[in-house]
Structure 1
Amino acid sequence: MPLCEKMVGVLAVLVMSGLCAAVAADTLEYDRVTSTDLKWNPLPSMPKGTQTTVLHGNPGKPGLYTVRLKIPPNSKMPVHSHPDERVRVIISGTYYSALGDKVDETKLLSFPPGTFSHVPPKVWQFAETKDEEVVFEITGIGPTGIDYLNAEDDPRKQK
C-alpha cells in the first residue's frame, strides 16, 4: 500500500476517533447532589436513629459508591466489620473509633470534622458518638454491608 494511502487511512481513523470522543464528551454530565437534594432514610443495620443517603452509585451492587451517614448523639457501634475497603471523611461532630475485636474505650481515637481515614476491609472495629450528632461520608467499592462479631449486637435482630 502506498504511503499516501496509509496516511489517509490513519488520518481517517484519527478523525473518526475525535468525532466519537466529541460525541461522548457531549453526553457526559456531572453526578451532582446538593444539600437540598438529600433524602435521608433510616439505616436499620446501625444504632437506632442513624440515617443514610446515597450520593453516588448503589452500595449493594459492585462498583463505586458514596454514602453519607448521620449518627445520633450517644450512639455505640459494637464490634463490626465491612466487606469492602473504604475511606471516610467526617463532616460534622466528632466520631470515636478503634480497631479490635473487643470494645476498649481506652483505644478510641477521635475523628473531628475534616478528618479523613482509610478503613481496611474485613477488619473488626468499634465506634461511638458522644454528646453530638456525627455526619460523615463513606466512599468504597461495593457491594458493602456490615457484619457484627456477636450476632446479638446486630440492631436488625433486636426487637
Structure 2
Amino acid sequence: MSGVEADIAAAGSDEVGAAACSLGLPSRLAGAGWRPQGGDGKMGNGGKSRRRLADGRSSRMGTHQPDQGVFRSVLPQDVDWQPFPGFPPAARLAVLVGNPSEPNPYVVRVKLPSGERLMPHRHAEDRVYTVISGVFYIGRGETFDEEKLVAYPPGTGIVLPGGTPHFHWAKSGEYITQVTAIGPISLEYVDPRDDPRNT
C-alpha cells in the first residue's frame, strides 16, 4: 500500500465511505419533503408552479440564478485558470459559474500544484468541496499540523462550514477541487504573515 493509499484508508469508512454512498442524500431529501418524479409526471413539489408549453406539455418554471439562465457546459479544456491574489503564486482558480464577488451562488475550481500549501485560513461562506482529481489533503485548526491532515480521493464531497479554520497541502501531487458556495468569495488567513496579498 502506497503512502497516499494509506492516508486515504486512514480517513476511515465513516468519512470516505459516506462520500461513496452519496452522502445519505435520498433520506435527507425525503426528510425535506422531496419526492421523485412519479408516473403522473409531477415533480417533487406535487406539480405546483407548472406552466403549459406551446406544445401542450407542462413545465415547472422559476427564476434563474445569475449566470444560470441558459444551458451551457464547461469542458475541462475550456477551464480558464487564473492567479488568485490570496493564493500562493503557483496556485490557480477558475470560475465556472457565477460571479464570486457578488452575493449569489458560484462554482469555482482550485488547482494546487504538487508540494504547495495553503496555510491556515477561513472563509466567511459555507462551502461544499468536490475533489475532481488528485488527493485533497485538508486539516482543521489554526496552525498547520501535518498530523491533522485527512486525505480525500477524487469523487469525495466535503462540507466546510463558514468560519472554520483549515489548511491544505498538495502532499502527494497536484489536486483540483471544485467549490460550490454563495458569494461573495472570501479568504482570511489566521496569520496575516501567511497572506500573499501582504507581501
TM-score, normalised with respect to structure 1: 0.80
How many residue pairs were aligned?
Answer: 139
Unaligned stretches of 5+ in structure 2?
1-50, 63-68
Over 3 Å off, 4+ runs? 17-22
- Provide, for residues 89-130 of structure 1, a one-character-per-residue CA deviation record: whole Å limited to 9, x for no partner: 111111211111122111110011111100100111111111
Using the alignment, how far apart are the partners of 2:84 and 2:102 within structure 1?
Answer: 17
TM superposition shift of 1:19: 6.1
Residue number among 143, 149, 154 corresponding to 1:113 in the alignment: 154
User: What residue is the counterpart of 2:135 in the other structure?
Assistant: 94
Contact 2:135/2:172 (CA < 8 Å) preserved in 1?
no
Using the alignment, how far apart are the partners of 1:47 and 1:109 within structure 2?
Answer: 21
User: What residue is the counterpart of 1:153 in the other structure?
Assistant: 194
- Provide, for residues 19-70 of structure 1, a one-character-per-residue CA deviation record: whole Å limited to 9, x for no partner: 6987x79xx6313212232211112211221111111001111111000111
AA paired with 1:49?
A
Q: Which has the higher strand share?
A: 1
For 1:71-90, what aligned pairs fall within 5 Å after superposition? 71-90=112-131
AA paired with 2:107?
T
Larger Cα-atom Rg: 1
AA paired with 2:83?
P
Contact 1:31/1:56 (CA < 8 Å) preserved in 2?
no
AA paired with 2:175?
V
User: What residue is the counterpart of 2:101 in the other structure?
Assistant: 60
Using the alignment, how far apart are the partners of 2:133 and 2:183 within structure 1?
Answer: 25
Contact 2:125/2:162 (CA < 8 Å) preserved in 1?
yes
Q: Secondary structure at the match of 2:73?
A: coil
Using the alignment, how far apart are the partners of 1:131 and 1:100 within structure 2?
Answer: 21
Using the alignment, how far apart are the partners of 1:58 and 1:134 within structure 2?
Answer: 23
Unaligned stretches of 5+ in structure 1?
1-16
Using the alignment, how far apart are the partners of 2:181 and 2:118 within structure 1?
Answer: 20
TM-score, normalised with respect to structure 2: 0.64
User: What residue is the counterpart of 1:104 in the other structure?
Assistant: 145
